């Protein structure tokens, strides 16, 4: 007891030592000059003593007040630091989990729960607090993994903080599974958006493709229930899980989000354009216009989809203009690009340009499909270049590209009209074989 009192007195003496030294120096200076500057020579006796005493009281009170203000400021910061420390709501003893205990209303700092006694200074204090917080987070996560967490916003927020700080994706998925069963807490939208973003990002990064396919849309819905728009990273994780084959319900959900004012990721915009090239070309072009306003550049797949949508709607001049600007986006045309543009030039009666595009496609080492061959053969026949058309057909057979029934019928009729009867009969034989092959493979004729 005596030792503790001596230590406390020593601490107080050390804390006030700079102030005492300063006051002593000040007293010496004032004492030396007091007769000249502080008290007039005419004052003698009691009046002089009273004036000097008043001056000393004012000086000492001023410096004591400033010192006390600094001490109170440090004390207030320390109390605020302790008040924001995480709280443990239940205990585990003897290696077995017991029933949770009632916790007093007073918040208990982790330092007391985990034996973090005393207070260190600066870096030492920070390291001690960090260790206590990690043990607190581990306890919260282990309790949640074993028993779940009450459907209270404060409790859910506590677990979310712990998952984020420790990077525990498994615990985040466990909480996510509980949310799927019970739904978001009634006041989930009051949770800080930064916390919700980090939590759902951690969940999305932890789930495998199968779980994303099963519960990806519900993951986005839970995020919206917490008052946040699905982040581009979370949206892209869902899109990536489907490997470019989005089902209709996922596409509809993304369209609903867009209509609700949610900012979609660049990848989501491109998926919508590609998916609606044939089924709804007007929608594809509408979304493309939004992408232009937002400054989202097209990739090659989206570029081809816009070209195809414009062809579907008869916007041939606009398709040619967009094709000529493709190089400005540092994009190289592929087989589909050339296939669409051959149709565009053929439909606009630019037959020579259509054949030139077909030849350019072959020169670049790209393999035309059955539709590109068909439109090139049609352009050749329209230009009365029948031999060239027959050569294109033979090239297609040599490369084992299954021809369209309409291609064979068109070429056979032209050959019969030109007096090439043997070739026409051979083509009809090819047609019979091709029809059986198409029926076996379910190909469009």
Per-residue pLDDT of 332-353, as tens digits, reads 999 999 999 999 999 999 999 9
Considering only residues 366 and 443, tell me which one the structure prediction assigns the higher pLDDT.
366
**Residue 322 burial (CB count, 10 A):** 19
Tally DSSP H helices, then E strands, for the chain.
Answer: 20, 0
List beta partners, residue 93. Answer: 96
Residue 80 in this model has a pLDDT that exceeds 90: no
Nearest Cα neighbor of 217 from 174, 176, 253 is 253
Is residue 304 within 8 Å of residue 272, measured between CB atoms? no
pLDDT computed for residue 61 by the predictor:
64
Among residues 13, 8, 16, 14, the alpha carbon closest in space to that of 70 is found at 16
Please give the Cα distance from 88 to 114 (Å, whole number). Answer: 10
Specify burial of residue 227 (Cβ count, 10 A radius: 0-12, 13-18, 19+): middle
Q: Is 70 exceeded by the pLDDT of residue 26?
A: no
Q: What is the pLDDT of residue 418?
A: 85
**Alpha carbon distance 362, 357 (integer Å):** 9
> Cβ(406)–Cβ(445) under 8 Å?
yes
Sign of the dihedral defined by the CA atoms of residues 197, 198, 203, 206, in that order: positive
Query: What would the two tokens of residue 24 be?
Result: 């002593």
pLDDT, mean over the chain: 80
The pLDDT assigned to 442 comes to 61
Average pLDDT over residues 24-49: 54
Mean pLDDT of 22-45: 54
pLDDT surpassing 50 at residue 208: yes
The rounded distance, in Å, linking the Cα atoms of 163 and 86 is 13
278/429 Cα distance (integer angstroms): 33
Report residue 80 CA to chain centroid gap. Answer: 34
Q: Does residue 305 contact residue 277 with C-beta atoms inside 8 Å?
A: yes
Most confident of 33-47, 52-66, 266-280: 266-280
Residue 81 main-chain phi, psi, to 5 deg: -60, -40
Structure tokens at 228: 């946040």
* Segments in 84-168 forming alpha helices (H): 110-113, 123-147, 153-166
Q: What is the pLDDT of residue 95?
A: 38
Q: Which among 119, 14, 19 has a CA at the least distance from the CA of 68?
A: 19
Cβ atoms of residues 363 and 334 within 8 Å: no
Q: Which residue has the higher pLDDT, 129 or 364?
A: 364
CA–CA dist 308, 323 (Å, integer): 11
Q: What is the pLDDT of residue 94?
A: 38
Q: From CA 16, how far away is CA 11, in angstroms rounded?
A: 9
CA-nearest of 211, 154, 152 to 177 is 211
What pLDDT score does 305 carry?
96
Q: Which of 407, 410, 414, 416 is nearest to 434 (CA)?
A: 407
- Are 379 and 386 a contacting pair, CB within 8 Å? no
Residue 305 contacts residue 334 (beta carbons within 8 Å): no
pLDDT of residue 386: 92
DSSP 364: T
If you count them, how many residues does the chain have?
445
Dig out the tokens for 144 from the structure. 């949640």
Q: Is the pLDDT of residue 115 over 90?
A: no
**Section 35-54 average pLDDT:** 55
Summarize pLDDT for 152-181 with one digit per residue, the tens: 999 999 999 999 999 999 999 999 999 999
pTM of the model: 0.66
**pLDDT > 50? residue 240:** yes
Confidence of residue 78 (pLDDT cuts 50, 70, 90): low
For residue 440, name the pLDDT band (cuts at 50, 70, 90). low
Quick one: average pLDDT of 402-425? 88
Quickly tell me which residue has 């506590």 as its tokens. Answer: 158
């Amino acid at each position: 007891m005596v030792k503790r009192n001596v230590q406390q007195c020593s601490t107080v003496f050390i804390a006030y030592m700079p102030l005492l030294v300063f006051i002593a120096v000040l007293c010496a200076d004032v004492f030396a000059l007091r007769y000249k500057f502080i008290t007039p020579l005419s004052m003698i006796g009691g009046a002089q003593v009273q004036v000097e005493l008043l001056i000393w009281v004012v000086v000492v009170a001023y410096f004591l007040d400033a010192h006390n203000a600094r001490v109170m400021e440090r004390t207030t910061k320390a109390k605020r630091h302790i008040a924001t420390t995480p709280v443990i709501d239940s205990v585990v003893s003897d290696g077995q989990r017991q029933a949770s205990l009632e916790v007093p209303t007073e918040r208990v700092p982790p330092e007391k729960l985990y034996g973090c006694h005393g207070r260190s200074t600066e870096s030492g204090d920070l390291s001690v607090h960090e260790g206590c917080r990690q043990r607190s987070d581990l306890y919260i996560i282990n309790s949640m993994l074993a028993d779940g967490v009450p459907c209270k916003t404060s409790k859910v927020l506590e677990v979310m903080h712990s998952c984020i700080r420790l990077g525990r994706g498994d615990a985040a998925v466990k909480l996510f599974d509980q949310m799927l069963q019970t739904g978001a807490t009634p006041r989930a939208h009051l949770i800080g958006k930064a916390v919700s973003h980090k939590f759902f990002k951690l969940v999305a990064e932890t789930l495998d493709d199968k779980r994303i396919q099963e519960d990806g849309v519900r993951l986005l819905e839970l995020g919206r229930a917490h008052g946040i728009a699905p982040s581009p990273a979370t949206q892209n994780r869902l899109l990536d899980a489907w490997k470019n084959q989005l089902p209709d319900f996922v596409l509809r959900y993304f369209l609903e989000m867009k209509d609700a004012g949610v900012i979609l990721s660049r990848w989501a915009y491109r998926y919508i354009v590609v998916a609606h090239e044939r089924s709804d070309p007007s929608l594809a072009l509408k979304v493309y216009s939004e992408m232009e306003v937002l400054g989202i550049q097209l990739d090659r797949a989206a570029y081809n989809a816009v070209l195809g949508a414009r062809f579907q709607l008869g916007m041939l001049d606009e398709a040619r203009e967009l094709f000529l600007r493709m190089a400005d986006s540092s994009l190289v045309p592929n087989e589909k690009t050339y296939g669409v543009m051959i149709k565009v030039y053929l439909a606009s009666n630019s037959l020579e340009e259509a054949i030139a595009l077909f030849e350019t496609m072959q020169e670049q080492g790209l393999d035309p499909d059955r539709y590109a061959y068909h439109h090139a053969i049609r352009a050749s026949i329209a230009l009365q270049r029948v031999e060239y058309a027959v050569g294109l057909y033979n090239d297609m057979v040599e490369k084992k590209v299954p021809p369209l029934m309409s291609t064979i019928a068109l070429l056979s009729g032209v050959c019969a009209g030109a007096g090439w009867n043997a070739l026409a009969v051979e083509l009809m034989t090819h047609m019979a074989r091709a029809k059986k092959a198409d029926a076996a493979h379910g190909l469009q004729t």
